[in-house]
């Protein structure tokens, strides 16, 4: 049985979201047979032989230092052998180091507590990063958040490039406050945003936006993270209800979206936040609807990979062992589509701009389609070509929802200038339009879903 400490750690890990390995796997995943990323070691670990274990991990490129990223973590434990050398709880830790997209950083240097200037590269030990939260209460009462094994925690929930020049730093960090009790509970009591300048290691405004102050925990719709700056001038944030046990007022497996105007005067003001209901924006947190059909999130992390041609990507952590599934969308409100993941490694099969699908994705498409997808054509999919429904040359993804089996003849019919057009409205659902404008729908064949990867 887990000790209370282990239980809190597990739960915390679950709450805190995306594990580093998951995030890197996503970037490298891209359908290639990507090797598993090697463990990310800090220079402190290399120089002392001590080991650092950290909860959650979020990174952002350093705007003023090309090729470097800052890495933000939640609770951090330093061990020497079996002995705990150092425990940094509730304030997070930070490190930075050289980084290339798709690769794990090779040498992280710990960032000292702001505003101390970092010595880089350095071998110093991890230090607390964010200020400890003030005024948290034990769940369900007025007593201060203390007690054996308990502590008030600020857990980092995401980081993005600050979407406004009017900030004290170029990065915007989201965090959630929890009262962790020795019994293994963690109740959410706040959500906030911190402005940060990594080049000088200075924290600007650290604003507690939502706070439950007294009484019941903060509604999960307001326990936000994964800040994403939209192209439309809004700052988007995501929240979720974990699978089990679902907190009160929260549907199991839901993922929520909130927004405010992407300027400090707005994101610091709790009354400017709106929630996506599924078809409109509401100022009522309780009206928030889920972005995905019943998921299994223990944590979520959303990143904007538009610059790499992947749009927005959401990692839904589905197990403490690191299982996850990935979702993709063109804009924050969706629609979010699940990215097919490898049942063994959990890595995305394809979200890529590579032209040719991986063998696994190709197999999946042929199994799904069974035959050529032209109406009435019965040529088996094994003898078909895999067509990009939206042509690769026009920006079409090599993905589950943009590939289909077409026999040579019908592939030609589509690609040559014959007036036939083809849409894939959801994975495996094709709509052909004849040169005369008549449509033929080709729904997916009955298909047996493989067992989930966890």
Q: Tokens standing for 96?
A: 């930075």
Of 381 and 407, nearer to Zn ion (C-beta) is 407
Does residue number 298 form part of the binding site for Zn ion (CB under 5 A)?
A: no
Distances (CA, A) of 274 to 158, 210, 397: 19, 13, 32
Cβ atoms of 74 and 225 closer than 8 Å: no
Cβ atoms of 23 and 315 closer than 8 Å: yes
Binding residue (CB under 5 A) for Zn ion from 374, 397, 430, 432: 374
The CA distance from 134 to 387, in Å, is: 57
Q: How far is the CB of 409 from Zn ion (least distance, A)?
A: 6
Count CB-CB contacts under 10 A for residue 343: 13
- What lies within 8 Å, CB to CB, of 9 at 6+ separation is 55, 75
Q: How far is the CB of 240 from Zn ion (least distance, A)?
A: 43
Of 42 and 371, nearer to Zn ion (C-beta) is 371
Does residue number 267 form part of the binding site for Zn ion (CB under 5 A)?
A: no
Distances (CA, A) of 337 to 18, 25, 29, 340: 18, 19, 17, 9
Of 280 and 412, nearer to Zn ion (C-beta) is 412
The CA distance from 193 to 216, in Å, is: 22
Q: Which helix (DSSP H) or strand (DSSP E) does residue 109 occupy?
A: strand 109-110
Of 203 and 407, nearer to Zn ion (C-beta) is 407
Does residue number 377 form part of the binding site for Zn ion (CB under 5 A)?
A: yes
The CA distance from 348 to 155, in Å, is: 27
Of 207 and 421, nearer to Zn ion (C-beta) is 421
Binding residue (CB under 5 A) for Zn ion from 338, 366, 370, 410: 410
Q: How far is the CB of 367 from Zn ion (least distance, A)?
A: 17
| Count of residues that interact with Zn ion, criterion CB under 5 A | 6
Count CB-CB contacts under 10 A for residue 35: 7
Does residue number 364 form part of the binding site for Zn ion (CB under 5 A)?
A: no
Of 34 and 413, nearer to Zn ion (C-beta) is 413
Residue range at the interface with Zn ion (CB under 5 A); choices 107-115, 137-145, 192-200, 405-413: 405-413
Q: Which helix (DSSP H) or strand (DSSP E) does residue 6 occupy?
A: helix 4-16
Does residue number 58 form part of the binding site for Zn ion (CB under 5 A)?
A: no
Does residue number 407 form part of the binding site for Zn ion (CB under 5 A)?
A: yes
Does residue number 432 form part of the binding site for Zn ion (CB under 5 A)?
A: no
Does residue number 370 form part of the binding site for Zn ion (CB under 5 A)?
A: no
Q: Report which of 353, 432, 360 is spatially closest to residue 389, judged by C-alpha positions.
A: 432
Binding residue (CB under 5 A) for Zn ion from 30, 173, 243, 372: 372
Residues 15-54: x/- map of binding to Zn ion (CB under 5 A)?
A: ----------------------------------------
Q: How far is the CB of 357 from Zn ion (least distance, A)?
A: 19
Residue ranges in contact with Zn ion by CB under 5 A = 372, 374, 377, 379, 407, 410
């Amino acid at each position: 049985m887990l000790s209370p400490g282990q239980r809190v750690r597990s739960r915390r890990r679950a709450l805190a979201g995306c594990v580093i390995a998951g995030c890197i796997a996503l970037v490298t995943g891209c359908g290639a047979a990507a090797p598993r990323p090697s463990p990310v070691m800090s220079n402190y670990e290399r120089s002392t032989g001590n080991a650092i274990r950290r909860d959650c991990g979020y990174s952002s490129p350093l705007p003023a230092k090309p090729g470097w990223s800052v890495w933000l973590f939640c609770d951090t434990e330093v061990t020497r052998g079996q002995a705990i050398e150092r425990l940094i709880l509730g304030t997070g830790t930070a490190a930075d180091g050289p980084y290339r997209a798709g690769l794990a950083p090779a040498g992280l240097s710990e960032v000292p507590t702001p505003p101390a200037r970092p010595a880089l590269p350095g071998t110093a030990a991890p230090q607390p990063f964010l200020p400890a939260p003030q005024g948290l209460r034990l769940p369900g009462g007025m007593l201060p958040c203390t007690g054996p094994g308990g502590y008030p925690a600020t857990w980092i929930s995401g980081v993005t490039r600050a979407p406004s020049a009017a900030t004290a730093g170029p990065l915007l960090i989201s965090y959630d406050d929890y009262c962790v009790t020795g019994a293994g509970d963690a109740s959410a009591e706040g959500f906030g945003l911190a402005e940060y300048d990594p080049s000088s290691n200075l924290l600007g405004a650290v604003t507690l936006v939502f706070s439950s102050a007294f009484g019941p925990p903060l509604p999960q719709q307001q326990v936000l993270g994964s800040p994403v700056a939209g192209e439309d001038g809004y700052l988007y944030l995501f929240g979720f209800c974990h699978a089990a046990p679902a907190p009160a007022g929260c549907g199991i497996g839901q993922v929520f979206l909130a927004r405010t105007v992407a300027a400090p005067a707005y994101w610091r003001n709790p009354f400017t936040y709106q929630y996506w209901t599924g078809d409109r924006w509401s100022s009522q947190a309780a009206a928030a609807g889920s972005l995905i059909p019943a998921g299994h999130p223990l944590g979520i992390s959303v990143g904007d990979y538009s610059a790499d041609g992947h749009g927005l990507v959401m990692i839904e952590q589905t197990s403490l062992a690191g299982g996850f599934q990935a979702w993709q969308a063109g804009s924050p409100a969706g629609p979010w589509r699940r990215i097919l993941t490898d049942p063994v490694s959990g890595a995305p099969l394809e979200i890529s701009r590579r032209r040719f699908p991986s063998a696994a994705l190709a197999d999946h498409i042929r199994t799904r389609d069974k035959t050529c997808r032209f109406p009435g054509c019965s040529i088996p999919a094994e003898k078909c070509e895999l067509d990009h429904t939206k042509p690769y040359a026009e920006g079409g993804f090599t993905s589950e929802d943009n590939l289909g089996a077409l026999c040579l003849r019908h592939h030609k019919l589509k690609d040559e200038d014959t007036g036939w057009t083809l849409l894939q409205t959801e994975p495996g659902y094709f709509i052909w339009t004849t040169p005369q404008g008549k449509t033929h729908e080709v729904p997916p064949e009955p298909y047996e879903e493989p067992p989930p990867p966890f």
